């Protein structure tokens, strides 16, 4: 049991350590945006971390970049994704609000 808990904690720590550069990059990207609501900031932060993480994995697997170059390149990719998130949320909510009521009820559930 002790070995299992040690492996579990090691896995958790490895995951956190791998996400730290992405989280720092998303935090730095938030300093560039002044007039965002907290909802948009949180969504953009999650998008920035996710895109940065997966782009590092993809760049290393596809192009065989070293760790530093993959992280610096993925920071730029995540920065673009971060900046596009509020516009994407606004566009998606506008599209959902223009749907007919019958389709809205099927997708989002009928209001009671």
Q: How far apart are the first and last CA of the chain?
A: 49
Q: Is the pLDDT of residue 108 over 80?
A: no
Which among 31, 35, 29 is positioned nearest to 77, based on CA atoms?
29
User: Tell me, what's the pLDDT at 99?
Assistant: 75
Q: List Cβ neighbours of 28 (8 Å cut-off, separation of 6 or more).
A: none
pLDDT, tens only, 33-57: 777 788 777 877 788 788 888 888 8
Which among 103, 12, 88 is positioned nearest to 48, based on CA atoms?
88
Q: Is the pLDDT of residue 74 over 80?
A: yes
Q: Give the predicted TM-score (pTM) of the model.
A: 0.60
Ramachandran region of residue 109, left (φ > 0), alpha (ψ -120 to 50) or beta?
Answer: left
Cβ atoms of residues 29 and 22 within 8 Å: no
């Amino acid at each position: 049991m002790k070995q299992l808990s040690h492996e579990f904690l090691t896995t958790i720590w490895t995951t956190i350590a791998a996400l730290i550069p992405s989280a720092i990059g998303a935090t730095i990207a938030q300093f560039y945006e002044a007039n965002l609501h907290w909802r948009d900031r949180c969504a953009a932060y999650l998008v920035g971390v996710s895109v940065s993480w997966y782009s590092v994995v993809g760049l290393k697997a596809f192009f065989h970049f070293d760790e530093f170059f993959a992280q610096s390149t993925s920071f730029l990719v995540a920065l673009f994704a971060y900046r596009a998130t509020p516009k994407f949320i606004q566009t998606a909510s506008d599209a959902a609000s223009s749907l007919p009521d019958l389709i809205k009820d099927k997708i989002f559930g009928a209001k009671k």
